[in-house]
Structure 1
Amino acid sequence: MAREARGKKAKRPSYKKVVLSRPGQRDIKLVALGRLLSALGVGTALVSVAHIVGSYWAGESIEQGRWVLPIMAAIVAGAGAFYEIWYGGRAARNEEKRIRHRLLGTVFDSASLPTDEESGLGSGKLITLMTDNAERVTEYRQVYFGATVAAMAIPFVTLAYVAIAIDPVVGLSIMVLCPLIPVLIGAFMSLFRKTSANSRKERGILSGQYLDAIRNLVTIRLLGAGPRTEKHLREQGERNRGAIMKLLAGNQIVIIIMDGLFSLLLICCSAFLTVGRYHAGALDLGEALAVMFLTDLLIEPLVQVAGFFYIGMGGMASERAIGSYLASSSKNNDSTSQGTAITDAGNMAIAARDLEFDYGRGTVLGGIRLDVPRGAKVAIIGRSGAGKSTLLSLLRGSLPLQKGGIAIDGANVNGLGSTEVRKLTASVSQATWLFTGTIADNLRIAAPEATTEEMWEALRKAQVADEIERMAQGIDTYVGEQGVLISGGQAQRISLARALLSGRHILLLDEPTSQVDIESEERIIQAIRELGPEWTLLMVTHRRALLEIADQTWEMKGGVLSPFVTQVGSAQ
């Protein structure tokens, strides 16, 4: 069992390789190179100055040319330090963009968006990954990690030089103390890991609660829940502040112990050994001064300790969170849709066979069979919770297949990735979402290369062109955040125009008239009625007028789909 556990532990993914791009991993080495170059310049300058001072004390004449080496070394040290800071910051910002791009790509390619119940990763935490966590990872890896690795190596390299070029007793004796630095850092990291994890957790909760409050601001105001929401956010903010203060307090403790006590111990030991060897005649004054001056490089790692428990631990925790999400999502995104292939789809635009789906709370769909002929307008009715929206989600690729098969426009869904499935249909939801920008901006989301005439043609088909023409800016009219500057009926028809402009001729409509006024409903129905035979429509609806223009009507009951045979007037 122990051997098996060790084997499993050895196969844990390297989150650095999962999260960081190849340029990002290269940048770590380049930043470390800048730190080493700076230390080389500093060390060379210090040794040169020490020997000059020693020669001067011994009464030797100092040639002016002897100052060239320390001056040049100081310039190299400054250039290395500047390069480390400049390149590290630049690399961090570039890698941050790459990480966000990967996260967004993972979300867009995902077969279904994660929920809190499924993965503990809701929209608030997802935003935290893309903002705060991405920034922390790059600050840790691109700015801090490479410099820290180099800083850990500098004392050993320095003491190896002392042991070889100056005095082996001093060099090897002091080198014994250096391994205590990473050992103490590891011990403190284990001690404060829980504090760091709690700080990250509270920060994620606060981000999610702020996002919920912003998204539901109108509802909060209408219900008079503003003071309660404010109090709740203030309490969570205080918990977040307390978690950060605990982390910073631990950081200060480490700084006091490491930077204060340990550096003092290291300096005292170096001074004691150097003075002793000088009096014993093993070192001349120049060599003794060189060892004492080089003590500055021995405490190089302690400079990095100050940021370890805030930058280091926070960065590692963020890297694990992002890496875990990318690793788990990539398995889903790289795999194709499951299910069975359909061989009897014929000339159907949509064919579904034996569809079953379960969210883990009981069967939602049980053996669905559906045929939608090309050019047909098919309606599905049923009570709320019957499974209508789940069926549409499977057809448009928002949910992965579990059992059964789907063929859309002659293509079997099983064997296709979620992105390919979504390209087969266009959707119009009952809750219209318009992006901040102009009407043209929202239309071009579906067709980036669409011409002005093509956009107007789609708006005419959606029965909204005449209203937009009366607007002062036409299709360049600004719609506001979530389309608040235009009516709900206009927004829904613009959403329909966007679907028509997409170039996909199979439309999935989810209650397209449920949240609009009567006039807008009539115009949407008229737009759907006038669509030609090149368009295939599958509509989920309760509205009688939409049922009247349907070529077929199906009813969903308890996850089972059957032809609707009752009079239209009695539809649910």
Structure 2
Amino acid sequence: MRDAMWAIGIVLGLMLIAVVVKGLLSYAHTYLTSRVAYKVITDLRNDMYYKITMAPLNRFAGEKAGDLISRVIDDVNIVQGAIASISTVLRSSVTLVVFVTMMFLKDWQLTLLAIALLPLLAHMIRRFGERIKATSRHVQMRMSDITSQLQQTIFGIKIIKSFTAEETEIDRFKETNWQKYRLMMKRVRMRALMPALVEFLTALGIALVFGFGCYRVLTGKLSTGWFFGYIAMMGMVFKPVRDLGNFNAALQQAIASFERIKYVLDMSEEPHDDPDAVELRDGIKGEIEFKDVSFKYGEEPVLKGINLKVAPGERIALVGPSGAGKTTLMNLIPRFYEPTSGEVLIDGIPVRKIKLSSLRRLIGMVPQEMILFNGTIYDNILFGRPEAEEEEVFEAAKRANAHDFILKLPKGYRTVVGDRGMRLSGGQQQRISIARAILKDPKILLLDEATSSLDTESEKLIQRSLEELMRGRTTLIIAHRLSTVMNADRIVVIKDGRIIETGRHDELIAKGGFYERLCQMQFQ
């Protein structure tokens, strides 16, 4: 009796140990496979973000932001799903190889019959995989459209509401969403049909083996027990085959998504520094010179033979009709674009011979569209020079005439501005953007005046802020206000990519040329 109890205790103990070991192995399997999958997609997203951030500016001219976002978020998630399934596939593959080998060793004739349908099965899986991959491409394209439309709606909600276009946009979104739904259901049908066909062909193979095996049993060539043992072994192959078929469908979706991911990973980066590129030191004067500079967008010429020299501290107003090339001219200075011919120089040094980071530290930009990040006012100003002290941030805000209004906000400098600064007025956004440029303390300033109309008081504050920002700096400004033009040291008139007139306001008005007509149309 005691021996029996000991035996039962040992058996129960072994069962408990087996359960614990199985649980630990299951935990380790889930943890390790998830860790590998998450590590891969984390690195993948980091690499994609790096590529997007380091891509040249002109690379984004034809891109939809929503499409890039969809590639980084949705397509990577699909790849993650396939990676997480790899362990299951490996287990199924090993199981399949082991049992097929055992089947060959047990009866090679029956096994050859069992795998006779394998070429047909492989062909069917391949064809279904191709169709699933093609459909998945279209699904992800519709997902990009949905992301783009959602982003545009959020950023343009004021315009949508002002034109009472809510229903139009809702209908447009629904149509895109339904297109994606129909494509997804098409893919679901194919994914559901493929396992069914795999099971049918597998069952057909078993039926053939069963029929041939029964014949051999009846003719006395096989024993009944041996044959049913073989059938049981063959049944163990069924699940691995089905798992591999399902994985192929997931793999094809992942391949379609990875093609979209690779599009981002293959993005070119900004030009690397020349081996002999120099670091700009203190004492830079800030002289700018364009020597016979031309530039093309593709085959379309934008700038043609530009020759212009800007003295240190000089304030140049660029004026001209829309599309004349003013913004392009400014974008050549920080090397956002590279000239097609000619060269741009800073203090006599070609910009391509200056280290890119050093060049851009020298330059401050205030774009027409005030870009603020979804953080605090303090963080947005500090963006101009992250190592700046708190007092320097406050001083920059004071010089930009922003300090007073900031202190009146409930959380002061810790006020969160919202996406693109939407919680602030246009004038407040402009002053924070100017404060950011003041904090950077650049030697060269590139300014594209905002065209938005502000109230008289805000206009005065902005003008005083700009005057403070431009003082003592070499400044190129795309002018939209008559006061800016009149206060410039020199006006450069650009038309059709060429400089056609230069001089002060009164001189150009007296000449009665294109500038005089432009003033009547644009500034009156």
- The TM-score bracket by the shorter chain reads 0.7 to 0.9
Which residue of 239, 244, 264 corresponds with 2:203? 264
> 1:313-352 alignment to 2 at 5 Å?
313-327=252-266, 329-330=267-268, 332-333=269-270, 348-352=286-290
User: Does the C-alpha gap of structure 1 residues 65 and 268 become closer, same or farther in structure 2, counting only changes over 3 Å?
Assistant: farther
Q: Report the alpha carbon displacement of residue 453 of structure 1 after superposing the two structures with TM.
A: 0.7
Alignment of 1:126 onto 2:75: no
What per-residue deviation string (whole Å, max 9, x for no partner) do you get for residues 527-563 of structure 1?
3434586533221113232234333321212211242
Q: Report the alpha carbon displacement of residue 415 of structure 1 after superposing the two structures with TM.
A: 5.6
Q: Report the alpha carbon displacement of residue 421 of structure 1 after superposing the two structures with TM.
A: 5.3
Alignment-mate amino acid for residue 423 of structure 2:
L
Does the Cα contact within 8 Å between 2:434 and 2:465 map onto a contact in 1? no
Alignment of 1:481 onto 2:419: yes
Q: Provide the secondary structure at the position in 2 that maps to 1:299.
A: helix
Q: Report the alpha carbon displacement of residue 378 of structure 1 after superposing the two structures with TM.
A: 2.2
Alignment of 1:151 onto 2:92: yes
Alignment of 1:160 onto 2:96: no
How far apart, CA to CA, are the structure 1 residues paired with 2:354 and 2:115? 60
User: Does the C-alpha gap of structure 1 residues 185 and 532 become closer, same or farther in structure 2, counting only changes over 3 Å?
Assistant: closer
Does the Cα contact within 8 Å between 2:317 and 2:492 map onto a contact in 1? yes
User: Does the C-alpha gap of structure 1 residues 146 and 355 become closer, same or farther in structure 2, counting only changes over 3 Å?
Assistant: farther
Alignment-mate amino acid for residue 297 of structure 2:
Y
How far apart, CA to CA, are the structure 2 residues paired with 1:185 and 1:82? 32
Which residue of 87, 103, 117 corresponds with 2:32? 87
What per-residue deviation string (whole Å, max 9, x for no partner) do you get for residues 406-447 of structure 1?
234665333678766544422111211222221012123333
Partner residue of 1:59?
Answer: none
Does the Cα contact within 8 Å between 2:448 and 2:477 map onto a contact in 1? yes
How far apart, CA to CA, are the structure 1 residues paired with 2:27 and 2:215? 38
Q: Provide the secondary structure at the position in 2 that maps to 1:414.
A: helix
TM-score, normalization: structure 2? 0.81
Alignment-mate amino acid for residue 405 of structure 1:
E
> 1:119-268 alignment to 2 at 5 Å?
121-140=63-82, 142-145=83-86, 147-148=88-89, 151-164=92-105, 166-169=106-109, 174=114, 177-178=117-118, 180-258=120-198, 260-268=199-207
Q: Report the alpha carbon displacement of residue 405 of structure 1 after superposing the two structures with TM.
A: 1.3
Q: Report the alpha carbon displacement of residue 272 of structure 1 after superposing the two structures with TM.
A: 5.9
> 1:14-93 alignment to 2 at 5 Å?
82-93=27-38
Q: Provide the secondary structure at the position in 2 that maps to 1:379.
A: strand
How far apart, CA to CA, are the structure 2 residues paired with 1:387 and 1:553? 15
Does the Cα contact within 8 Å between 1:354 and 1:367 map onto a contact in 2? yes
User: Does the C-alpha gap of structure 1 residues 196 and 528 become closer, same or farther in structure 2, counting only changes over 3 Å?
Assistant: closer
User: Does the C-alpha gap of structure 1 residues 545 and 225 become closer, same or farther in structure 2, counting only changes over 3 Å?
Assistant: same
Q: Provide the secondary structure at the position in 1 that maps to 2:352.
A: coil
How far apart, CA to CA, are the structure 1 residues paired with 2:473 and 2:88? 61
Which residue of 231, 251, 258 corresponds with 1:312? 251
> 1:270-281 alignment to 2 at 5 Å?
none
Q: Report the alpha carbon displacement of residue 307 of structure 1 after superposing the two structures with TM.
A: 5.2
Q: Provide the secondary structure at the position in 1 that maps to 2:313.
A: coil
Q: Report the alpha carbon displacement of residue 388 of structure 1 after superposing the two structures with TM.
A: 0.8
User: Does the C-alpha gap of structure 1 residues 213 and 467 become closer, same or farther in structure 2, counting only changes over 3 Å?
Assistant: closer
User: Does the C-alpha gap of structure 1 residues 360 and 452 become closer, same or farther in structure 2, counting only changes over 3 Å?
Assistant: same
Does the Cα contact within 8 Å between 2:137 and 2:257 map onto a contact in 1? no
How far apart, CA to CA, are the structure 2 residues paired with 1:256 and 1:414? 62
Which residue of 368, 379, 397 corresponds with 2:335? 397
Which residue of 378, 393, 416 corresponds with 1:440? 378
Q: Report the alpha carbon displacement of residue 204 of structure 1 after superposing the two structures with TM.
A: 2.4
Which residue of 379, 399, 411 corresponds with 2:317? 379
Alignment of 1:97 onto 2:39: no
Does the Cα contact within 8 Å between 2:444 and 2:474 map onto a contact in 1? yes
Alignment of 1:302 onto 2:242: yes
How far apart, CA to CA, are the structure 1 residues paired with 2:466 and 2:382? 21
Q: Report the alpha carbon displacement of residue 498 of structure 1 after superposing the two structures with TM.
A: 0.9
Alignment-mate amino acid for residue 136 of structure 1:
I
How far apart, CA to CA, are the structure 2 residues paired with 1:252 and 1:233? 28
Q: Provide the secondary structure at the position in 1 that maps to 2:137.
A: helix
Partner residue of 1:470?
Answer: 408
Q: Report the alpha carbon displacement of residue 153 of structure 1 after superposing the two structures with TM.
A: 5.0
Alignment-mate amino acid for residue 134 of structure 1:
V
How far apart, CA to CA, are the structure 2 residues paired with 1:410 and 1:98? 42
The answer to which of 380-389 and 355-364 deviates more is 355-364
Does the Cα contact within 8 Å between 2:490 and 2:504 map onto a contact in 1? no
Q: Report the alpha carbon displacement of residue 167 of structure 1 after superposing the two structures with TM.
A: 4.9
Q: Report the alpha carbon displacement of residue 365 of structure 1 after superposing the two structures with TM.
A: 1.0
Alignment of 1:428 onto 2:366: yes
Q: Report the alpha carbon displacement of residue 179 of structure 1 after superposing the two structures with TM.
A: 5.5
Does the Cα contact within 8 Å between 1:513 and 1:524 map onto a contact in 2? no
Q: Report the alpha carbon displacement of residue 193 of structure 1 after superposing the two structures with TM.
A: 4.2
Q: Report the alpha carbon displacement of residue 80 of structure 1 after superposing the two structures with TM.
A: 5.5
Q: Provide the secondary structure at the position in 1 that maps to 2:85.
A: helix
User: Does the C-alpha gap of structure 1 residues 474 and 198 become closer, same or farther in structure 2, counting only changes over 3 Å?
Assistant: closer
How far apart, CA to CA, are the structure 2 residues paired with 1:276 and 1:74? 44
What per-residue deviation string (whole Å, max 9, x for no partner) do you get for residues 99-155 of structure 1?
222222212211125457x5xx42121111111111112222x21345435534541
Does the Cα contact within 8 Å between 1:110 and 1:418 map onto a contact in 2? no
User: Does the C-alpha gap of structure 1 residues 78 and 531 become closer, same or farther in structure 2, counting only changes over 3 Å?
Assistant: closer
Which residue of 480, 502, 507 corresponds with 1:563? 502
Alignment-mate amino acid for residue 238 of structure 1:
W
Q: Report the alpha carbon displacement of residue 326 of structure 1 after superposing the two structures with TM.
A: 2.0
Q: Provide the secondary structure at the position in 2 that maps to 1:232.
A: helix
Alignment of 1:551 onto 2:489: yes
How far apart, CA to CA, are the structure 1 residues paired with 2:100 and 2:313? 81
Q: Report the alpha carbon displacement of residue 270 of structure 1 after superposing the two structures with TM.
A: 5.8
What per-residue deviation string (whole Å, max 9, x for no partner) do you get for residues 65-109 of structure 1?
999999999987766655444333333333323222222221221
Q: Report the alpha carbon displacement of residue 294 of structure 1 after superposing the two structures with TM.
A: 6.2
* Alpha-carbon RMSD: 3.8
Alignment-mate amino acid for residue 151 of structure 1:
S
User: Does the C-alpha gap of structure 1 residues 531 and 249 become closer, same or farther in structure 2, counting only changes over 3 Å?
Assistant: closer
Does the Cα contact within 8 Å between 2:401 and 2:465 map onto a contact in 1? yes
How far apart, CA to CA, are the structure 2 residues paired with 1:128 and 1:415? 37
User: Does the C-alpha gap of structure 1 residues 80 and 257 become closer, same or farther in structure 2, counting only changes over 3 Å?
Assistant: farther
Q: Report the alpha carbon displacement of residue 366 of structure 1 after superposing the two structures with TM.
A: 0.8
> Structure 1: any 5+ residue segments left out of the alignment?
1-62
Does the Cα contact within 8 Å between 1:333 and 1:417 map onto a contact in 2? no
How far apart, CA to CA, are the structure 1 residues paired with 2:243 and 2:230? 21
Q: Report the alpha carbon displacement of residue 316 of structure 1 after superposing the two structures with TM.
A: 0.8
Matched pairs, number = 496
> Structure 2: any 5+ residue segments left out of the alignment?
1-7, 279-283, 510-515
Q: Provide the secondary structure at the position in 1 that maps to 2:492.
A: strand
Does the Cα contact within 8 Å between 1:271 and 1:292 map onto a contact in 2? no
How far apart, CA to CA, are the structure 1 residues paired with 2:97 and 2:471? 78
Percent identity, please. Answer: 26
